[in-house]
Structure 1
Amino acid sequence: MSQDLEAATGRYLDLIGRADEYGAVDLVLGLIDEGVPAEDVLLRIVAPGQRRVGELWASNEWSVAREHGATAVSERVVAAVSGRVRPTATRGRVAVACADGEYHALPTRIMAEVLRLRGWHVDFLGASVPGPHLITHLHQTGPEVVALGCTLPTRLPRAHATIAACQAVGIPVLAGGAGFGVDGRFARLLGADAWAPTADAAADRLAAGLPSFPAAHDGHGDAAVHFGGEEYAYLTRHRADLLARVMDTLKEAYAPMGGYSARQLEHTAEDLGYIADFLIAALYVHDAALFTDFVTWTCQVLAARKVPAESVVLGLRVFHDVLTDCPHARALLNEGVAAARTCCADQRTETSV
């Protein structure tokens, strides 16, 4: 069966890569009709297939359009599985939502479907659910727990506000998704009641009961960490102005930008915006690795597009020079420069081999 599912995953990737919605739906529903559990279809075919989509985009083997098309098909496939398999709810009610500002909804949707298959009454609220609206839903429906998904760590400040708001009305929070850290450290730091690395782990955790982070409500959660700080607040308020200043300074420091097309300038501004957002998130949780991991990933993605890591070093240095009154941010940027320089050395080694 394992080899059969591995082969099916390969076929699934081929189908979604061609945006063949009907073919992908027929494949997974056919497997279910043959007796493959729906949970296995979701976790051993759709989820790994979608992870591979992200890897192919990062390595520049697939375009953004192809990646978007594949993701759209996977969303339809998950909906088709949900429509085909309708288990009776035998457990309590769970509200499943993406953190405010988080638009990568597919991983959270898969978690919602696995919970439903395990017998939970699931309210899937979709991408980017504003905290106040989620709280209104909790008052109206009274779930036993909120399962909160966060794929990007840049959404951690908003996720933190949502966790605190849910707990204030007496609803515990199970956190999931890469945004909370591969080891769940940010879920623990932000005071979530529990964390799960995968959809099936989330279902197992809920079945075992909450919480699993005893420190979340005994004074060792929020009280132990001073989140944000003056520099975080400053950069959050003045993000647009900061990016404009960095862009202007970069144009002066890097002469080739004078010949950039409007599209190239737009991409440069987007990349600088990502640097600002990850810097802000790292300041919020006081975690340098959050920022340096992003820098390393960015260098790898750009290298696949024939953009040298030196360009990242330059951008980080400009941020450093502009933020003259932000010592903590400058320290993080220095660590980012060191990470980017390591990537530069690795790229030179690969080129010389």
Structure 2
Amino acid sequence: MTATDVQRTAAPDLDHVREALWQAVRDGDEYRASDTVVGAVDAGLPVESALLDVIAAVQARVGAEWAANRLTVAQEHAATAIHERVIAALGHHPRHRPPEPHGTRVTVVCVDGEWHALPARLLSEVLRRHGLRVDFLGAHVPVPHLVSHLHRTGARTVALSATFSLHLPTAHTAITACQAVGVPVLAGGAAFGPDGRYARTLGADAWAPDARAAVDVLARGLDRPDPLSCDRRAVSGLPHLADQEYTMVVSTRRQLVKETLARLEERYPPMRSYTHQQRERTAEDIGHIVDHLAVALYVDDPEFLPRFLRWTAGVLDARSVPARSLDPALALLGRQLQDFPRASRILHEARAALDHLLPAPHPPGSGPAA
């Protein structure tokens, strides 16, 4: 299906438009991608549907295809860049520009360290279509700069986006800082969990699972937080952190990774044949486990690490890498952290969850290399 075919369709079929856009971004053709989406809107597809039911849906497919090892990282990045250009083309198209803003001012921003800005960009465009005055600050905005922006512009609400759950502690800092200057925070993005559980844990004023829900939340309005009560909540909101386990894991991360990597070969003999590059990637994987353990301690959720490991096992399996190598790494981390009750419990439950996913182990030396 070509862009011309889409333009000639009286009532564009979403599946056909999505497939046409998918083919364009997979081929790296931003002009065909733009023609596809703009042509569909010209033919009667609502702009909001083009943004959320087409572009966002195809971007989700891009991520799934990368996880399944059918797209490279470069192809994934190229697809994201193309979608950014398509959104811009649609927003600046003379016939499809958003209306003049007449609503309250909203700052849409990605948490510090978060480089996946496309979900926040899509939200910004949808909010503009509903007449809100939107400041889109983009990816990776340090908290002091965000607070300075709020002081300068007088925004009434912050829509805080985070895709990777590793950024939850930083998101907590951003939420607390915004509330401390009297600005409520609407949290959104995959990092906060499919049911928004981490948005509630971190004290966000509201959570929305998607852009349409965010429009509804903002239409109802959010109460301006009391800075004094926010200060008290910031101190008392996560009492489990008093055990210092999170702080200890973060501060000893390098040592934990180094010790685990040094002893992993004894527990997992196939590692003896690893190349230098394979060993580096194994060290990165161990680092990711430690990082997710730290966040699990921060939000006090024993299911946090198992969910990450189930996803990781799927990614490794798609790349013919034995996910069984994760289990000895978890055991070695557990040995180092045996004096820390919460960390030990989380690692034990993570191993139990992983065990249900793994096939019987290969004889030593017979498995594929990581």
Fold equivalence (TM over 0.5): yes
Contact 1:151 1:179 in 2 (8 A): yes
Contact 1:189 1:222 in 2 (8 A): no
**1:305 positional shift:** 1.6
Contact 2:106 2:155 in 1 (8 A): yes
1:29 to 38, 42, 55: 38
1:45 to 39, 54, 62: 54
Q: Distance in 2 between matches of 1:136 and 1:41?
A: 34
> Residue 191 of structure 1: SS of its match in structure 2?
coil
Q: Distance in 2 between matches of 1:51 and 1:172?
A: 29
Q: 1:212 to 1:265 in 2, by over 3 A?
A: farther
Pairing of 1:1-353 with structure 2 (within 5 A): 4-84=13-93, 85-211=97-223, 223-226=236-239, 228=241, 229-345=243-359
Q: Distance in 1 between matches of 2:188 and 2:330?
A: 30
Q: Distance in 1 between matches of 2:20 and 2:312?
A: 30
**1:114 positional shift:** 0.7
Q: Distance in 2 between matches of 1:67 and 1:346?
A: 33
Q: Distance in 1 between matches of 2:99 and 2:345?
A: 52
More displaced, 250-259 or 93-102?
Answer: 250-259
RMSD: 2.4
**1:56 positional shift:** 1.0
Q: 1:230 to 1:221 in 2, by over 3 A?
A: closer
Deviations 1:33-56 (A, max 9, x none): 223221110001000101111111
Contact 2:305 2:346 in 1 (8 A): yes
TM-score by length of 1: 0.92
Q: Distance in 1 between matches of 2:296 and 2:49?
A: 36
More displaced, 147-156 or 260-269?
Answer: 260-269
**1:211 positional shift:** 4.9
Q: 1:34 to 1:278 in 2, by over 3 A?
A: same
Gaps of 5+ in 1: 349-353
Q: Distance in 2 between matches of 1:164 and 1:347?
A: 46
Contact 1:21 1:76 in 2 (8 A): yes
Contact 2:296 2:305 in 1 (8 A): yes
Displaced runs of 4 or more, over 4 A: 216-222, 345-348
Q: Distance in 1 between matches of 2:211 and 2:235?
A: 26
**Partner of residue 367, structure 2:** none
Q: 1:212 to 1:254 in 2, by over 3 A?
A: farther
Contact 1:75 1:106 in 2 (8 A): yes
Aligned residues: 347
Gaps of 5+ in 2: 1-9, 363-370
Deviations 1:182-210 (A, max 9, x none): 00111111111110000111111101112
Contact 2:169 2:295 in 1 (8 A): yes
Which has more radius of gyration? 2
